[in-house]
């Protein structure tokens, strides 16, 4: 992709299995307020975190293709599960930069002072089973011990709005008591929804553990990539687009999305991505 051929006002495409990726979009808006953005939430088929890798690959190719044909200049895979399973596939398929959340999150975890040389990773079942975070962390430091834990109840908990209180505390304690006991330097919140549980998670693992929110690190990587390529949008006059597409239930997306995004969600359109003609890998 060469700089001359890129329209700098073209939007950044962001996709996720549902509303959770709005945590990443929020950070992109905060770090890059002049960029136009298009978000796709595959709300008809969420959750991805319990699906097999083949299904996640198929779904993510459809989402990526939908956004690509809208003329985006960069694609962000906000979903940890998709990043864990399909980053290579998506990067090979589309001739634009593709950024997932695993590399930025792993890199940030290595910024914690290494007292124990131990990092925790939490995520969906499919993300944890893939071992993607562990592999990425080991490319940065092969001596770091990585302790992983799937926390499937966290997603419905957050969508219900139960960020604290006795139920959130009991579930968090059950999942993380082992990590709290053996002590970890950093804990990667390897799922779009988990940053909303930061307070209760920090209480359980203790204040000496750095909580890593991949959303912030991903937004920084998006900014760095656009900057390096010379395709940041600096023209206020062309920065207005905040478009959302969903595959089911726009009303629910808006209602739940409010918990994830600090600005109002206005322009939401229902689409069908099952009908796209996608060549298999
Ligand atoms: N967005 C997913 C992730 O970050 C969580 C929700 C799901 O399972 O689809 O892994």
- CATH number (domain holding residue 188): 3.40.50.1860
Mean pLDDT computed over 16-36: 96
Residue 281 inside a domain? The answer is: no
Query: Are 197 and 141 within one domain?
Result: yes
Residue 280 inside a domain? The answer is: no
Beta bridge partners of 98: 75
Per-residue pLDDT for 281 more than 70?
Answer: no
Q: Which of 24, 43, 121, 124 maximizes ligand 1 atoms within 8 Å of its Cβ, making it the mutation to test the pocket?
A: 124
The answer to whether the CB of 219 is under 6 A from ligand 1 is no
Domain boundary (184, 214, 244) is at 214
Q: Which of 84, 123, 128, 191 maximizes ligand 1 atoms within 8 Å of its Cβ, making it the mutation to test the pocket?
A: 191
Banded model confidence at residue 273, pLDDT cuts 50, 70, 90: confident
Cα–ligand 1 centroid distance for 49 (angstroms): 5
Q: What is the pLDDT of residues 89-115, one digit of tens each?
A: 999 999 999 999 999 999 999 999 989
Q: What is the dihedral of CA 201, 187, 123, 276, to 10 degrees?
A: 120
Query: Are 209 and 134 within one domain?
Result: yes
Among the listed residues 1, 6, 4, 23, the one whose alpha carbon sits nearest the alpha carbon of residue 14:
23
Query: Are 190 and 54 within one domain?
Result: no
Q: Quick one: how many helices (H) and strands (E) in the chain?
A: 11, 10
Among all residues, which ones are annotated catalytic? Answer: 79, 191
The answer to whether the CB of 192 is under 6 A from ligand 1 is yes
The alpha carbon dihedral of 27, 16, 150, 145 has a sign of negative
Query: Are 82 and 170 within one domain?
Result: no
Would you state the pLDDT for residue 234? 86
Helix (H, G, I), strand (E, B) or coil at 264: coil
Per-residue pLDDT for 65 more than 80?
Answer: yes
Q: Which two tokens stand for residue 208?
A: 């000496």
Which is the closest atom of ligand 1 to the Cα of 101? Answer: 4
Per-residue pLDDT for 276 more than 90?
Answer: no
Of 4-18, 120-134, 142-156, least confident by mean pLDDT is 4-18
Query: Are 37 and 86 within one domain?
Result: yes
Full domain range(s) for residue 179? 103-214
Number of domains in the chain: 2
Mean residue pLDDT across the chain: 94
Query: Are 96 and 112 within one domain?
Result: no
Query: Are 89 and 109 within one domain?
Result: no
The answer to whether the CB of 124 is under 6 A from ligand 1 is yes
Residue 143 inside a domain? The answer is: yes
Query: Are 71 and 134 within one domain?
Result: no
The answer to whether the CB of 80 is under 6 A from ligand 1 is yes
The answer to whether the CB of 46 is under 6 A from ligand 1 is yes
Per-residue pLDDT for 3 more than 70?
Answer: no
Domain boundary (169, 191, 214) is at 214
Residue 247 inside a domain? The answer is: yes
Which is the closest atom of ligand 1 to the Cα of 48? Answer: 9
The answer to whether the CB of 24 is under 6 A from ligand 1 is no
Which is the closest atom of ligand 1 to the Cα of 47? Answer: 9
Residue 81 inside a domain? The answer is: yes
Query: Are 107 and 96 within one domain?
Result: no
Would you state the pLDDT for residue 61? 96
Of 2-6, 80-84, 155-159, 252-256, least confident by mean pLDDT is 2-6
Cα–ligand 1 centroid distance for 152 (angstroms): 9
Mean pLDDT computed over 140-155: 97
Cα–ligand 1 centroid distance for 118 (angstroms): 24
Instruction: Pick the residue whose CA is nearest to atom 2 on ligand 1.
Output: 79
Banded model confidence at residue 162, pLDDT cuts 50, 70, 90: very high
Would you state the pLDDT for residue 235? 83
Instruction: Pick the residue whose CA is nearest to atom 7 on ligand 1.
Output: 47
Would you state the pLDDT for residue 6? 87
Per-residue pLDDT for 26 more than 70?
Answer: yes
pTM of the predicted structure, to 2 decimals: 0.95
Q: Could you give the CA distance from residue 121 to residue 109 in angstroms, rounded to a whole number?
A: 9
188 Cβ partners below 8 Å, 6+ apart?
Answer: 105, 106, 108, 109, 119, 120, 121, 122, 123, 133, 212, 214
Would you state the pLDDT for residue 274? 75
Of 121-125, 251-255, 273-277, least confident by mean pLDDT is 273-277
Mean pLDDT computed over 42-49: 97
Query: Are 17 and 94 within one domain?
Result: yes
Domain boundary (214, 237, 262) is at 214
Q: Could you give the CA distance from residue 254 to residue 45 in angstroms, rounded to a whole number?
A: 17
Would you state the pLDDT for residue 277? 66
Q: What is the pLDDT of residues 196-254, one digit of tens each?
A: 999 999 999 999 999 999 999 999 999 999 999 999 998 887 767 999 999 999 999 99
Mean pLDDT computed over 143-167: 96
Query: Are 169 and 203 within one domain?
Result: yes
Query: Are 148 and 208 within one domain?
Result: yes
Of 31-40, 69-78, 143-152, 265-274, least confident by mean pLDDT is 265-274
């Amino acid at each position: 992709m060469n700089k001359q051929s890129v329209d700098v006002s073209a939007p950044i495409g962001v996709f996720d299995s549902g509303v959770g990726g709005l945590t990443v979009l929020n950070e992109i808006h905060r770090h890059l307020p002049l960029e136009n953005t298009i978000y796709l939430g595959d709300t008809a088929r969420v959750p991805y975190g319990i699906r097999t890798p083949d299904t996640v690959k198929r779904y993510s190719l459809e989402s990526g293709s939908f956004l690509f044909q809208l003329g985006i200049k960069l694609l962000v895979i906000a979903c940890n599960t998709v990043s864990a399973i399909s980053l290579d596939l998506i990067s090979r398929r589309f001739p634009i930069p593709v950024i997932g959340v695993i590399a930025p999150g792993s890199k940030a975890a290595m910024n914690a002072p290494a007292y124990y040389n131990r990092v925790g990773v939490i995520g969906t079942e499919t993300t944890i089973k893939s071992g993607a975070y562990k592999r990425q962390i080991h490319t940065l430091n092969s001596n770091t011990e990585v302790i992983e834990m799937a926390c499937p109840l966290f997603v419905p908990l957050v969508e219900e709005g139960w960020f604290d209180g006795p139920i959130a505390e009991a579930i968090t304690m059950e999942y993380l008591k082992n990590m709290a006991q053996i002590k970890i330097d950093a804990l990667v919140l390897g799922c779009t929804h988990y940053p909303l549980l930061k307070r209760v998670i920090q209480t359980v693992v203790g204040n000496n553990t750095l909580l890593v929110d991949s959303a912030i690190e991903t937004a920084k990587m998006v900014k760095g990539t656009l900057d390096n390529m010379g395709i940041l949008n600096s023209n206020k006059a062309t920065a207005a687009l905040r478009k959302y597409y969903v595959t089911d239930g726009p009303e629910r997306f808006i209602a739940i999305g409010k918990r994830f995004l600090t600005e109002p969600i206005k322009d939401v359109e229902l689409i069908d991505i099952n009908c796209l003609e996608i060549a298999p890998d």
